[in-house]
Chain A
Amino acid sequence: MTTSTSQESKRKPWWLLAVAIFAVGGLVAAAMAMTDDRSRGGPSPGSIGDPEIRQAQWRFTVKRAPGRKLSKNQRASFPTQRKKLKKMAQDVFDALFLSPENQGKALRTNFTPSARKSYQRTGVGVPKGADDVRIKRRAARIVIDQTARATMSVNVIALGQADKGPFATAHRSVLYVAREKGGWKVFGYEVDQQPFKKRKASKEDDKANDKQSKSSEKSKKGKNKKKRSGDKDRGGDGS
């Protein structure tokens, strides 16, 4: 017995060791999964978007400009350039609205120096002290010409809290991009950023609504009449 107990006491540390290794392995795997989530587009360091807030997905439309046919090399390069331009839009506008700390880096990488300075001066993006930013819409329409020039029309709607209170911003940028030795660079832009307002119903919409409400009223009346007639019927039945 003593020998068996002594054997058990000798085996126990091995069993514990196995459990410990398993636990450490689990922790490492969990940590790796978390880092993977971040690289897939989770909140980056310096992010002002609450990680629990679900941000609108990017919506892309990419088209080829009309004109001359692409050469074989250009055709082969088109998907790569499309991917690069999509990434550019994501990098720039996610930095502007979700992680302003990365804004400088994103603009430095993707803009020519003069365009960057001028773009930064416009003060686009979220207001000072923005927090809990929620992107309601982010969409980009890209047209690529001969895989060397492109226009990019980007729309972003962002809501959140700032120093001066809640804000809602509708942003539209048109970026003019050319491919240089160092990759795609924005050399010109147009920008329009305004407080986001839900579209007010126009007069025509009002008229249409009036018509709808009138017709629905009529149909309701009709239904009521029917009901009444049904009532009568029922009454008749009842009588």
Chain B
Amino acid sequence: MAAAPITGGRVHAEHQPKDGKIFVLILGSDARSGNPTNSRADAVHLAGINTKTMRGGILNFPRDSYVNIPGSGTARINESLYRGGPELAVRTVESITGIQIDYWLLTAFEGFQFAVKDLGNDVPLVVKRGMHDPGGSGADIEPNTKSLNGADSLAFARTRKSLPGGDVTRTSNQARFLIALLRKLRTDIEGSPGKMFDWMAATRKWTRLDIPPHELFQLAVLTSQVKTQDVGSVTVPVSIGSAGAASVVFIQPGAQSIYNRFKKNASL
């Protein structure tokens, strides 16, 4: 597959989503430009949609989660992308959660920013507390900002140093951003259903997908029919620790019940 700002594909070619449950692994690479697979994943989210109940959920993994990477020992979850591409990242999350993933989507700084720009450059997200991180993400978002443009969106999704919860809060913020994108999709389509194709055009422009267009259309229709209030976002419970010299977070045993619930309902 050619290098592209956003890439995506099907995990199991033969697998068809059963029982109306669809799971998508959303990865955000820290690659500044070029091929996003040659970097670590700063964002790891498992999104689920239940087509029967039309409810959804996003399970967020802090990037420092210290986990077992299949065939590659134990390391931070963000290493899985660097060591084996999105396929290994998918296998890692599958082995942690026991959930069979249907699709993966990988984006990097460039694709993320340009896609937001092409979608109108105004993602409806209220940022009550301002974000200022000139040395890190470059965020300079004023308090009570109600919509984010491409650059601000990227800064919002990257900022961690100026947040009290650090990486864990950042992970939750990334999920908030995904839900805000869903809200925008729904608002756009409510006004004019044909806008669905604007979204698909933006996706096509910045994405290389292994998913056939008709399947992408069906996925987009499905996603647009899930109300934002029916999408729950849960960050896996973690405790701070260290592995050697590296500062990591350990996923708590309580996470297992969350995985089981998510696997059963595809919603949180």
Residues of A within 8 A of B (CB): 63, 65-68, 141, 143, 145-146, 148-149, 151-153, 174, 176, 178, 187-188, 190
Contact = CB atoms under 8 A, between A and B. Distances in A.
Interface in B19-39: none
Nearest to A68: B204
For the complex, would chain B's binding face be called helix, strand, loop or mixed by DSSP majority?
A: helix
B239 interface: no
B194 A65 contact: yes
A143 B213 contact: no
Interface stretch (B90-98, B100-108, B217-225): B217-225
Contacts of B218: 178, 187-188
Contacts of A67: 197, 200-201, 204
Give the 10 A-B residue pairs with the shortest CB-CB distance, closest first.
A143-B194, A65-B197, A67-B201, A151-B193, A188-B221, A145-B197, A174-B193, A176-B221, A149-B217, A153-B193
Interface residues of B, number: 17
Contact of B214 (A141, A148, A151, A190): A148
Nearest to B215: A178
Contacts of B198: 65-66
Interface string B216-235: 01100110010000000000
Interface in B68-97: none
B257 interface: no
Interface in B195-213: 196-198, 200-201, 204, 213
Given A141-B193, A190-B225, 6 more contacts: A68-B204, A149-B214, A152-B193, A176-B221, A188-B222, A188-B225
B252 interface: no
A149 B192 contact: no
Contacts of A149: 197, 213-214, 217
A188 B220 CA distance: 11
Contacts of B189: 174
A151 B194 contact: yes
21 contacts: A65-B198, A66-B197, A66-B198, A141-B194, A143-B192, A143-B194, A146-B213, A148-B213, A148-B214, A149-B197, A149-B213, A149-B214, A151-B193, A151-B197, A153-B194, A174-B193, A176-B193, A176-B196, A187-B218, A188-B222, A190-B225
Contact of A153 (B192, B200, B225): B192
Contacts of B192: 141, 143, 153
Interface string B165-207: 0000000000000000000000001001110111011001000
Contacts of A145: 197, 200, 217
Given A66-B201, A67-B204, A178 B194 contact: no
Nearest to B214: A178
Contacts of A176: 193, 196, 217, 221
Contacts of B214: 148-149, 178
A63 B194 contact: yes
A65 B221 contact: no
A174 B189 CA distance: 10
Nearest to B220: A176
A150 to B, nearest CB: 9
B16 to A, nearest CB: 14
Nearest to A63: B194
Contacts of A187: 218, 221
Contacts of B221: 176, 187-188
A151 B213 CA distance: 15
B132 to A, nearest CB: 37
A66 B198 CA distance: 6
Nearest to A151: B193
A174 B217 CA distance: 14
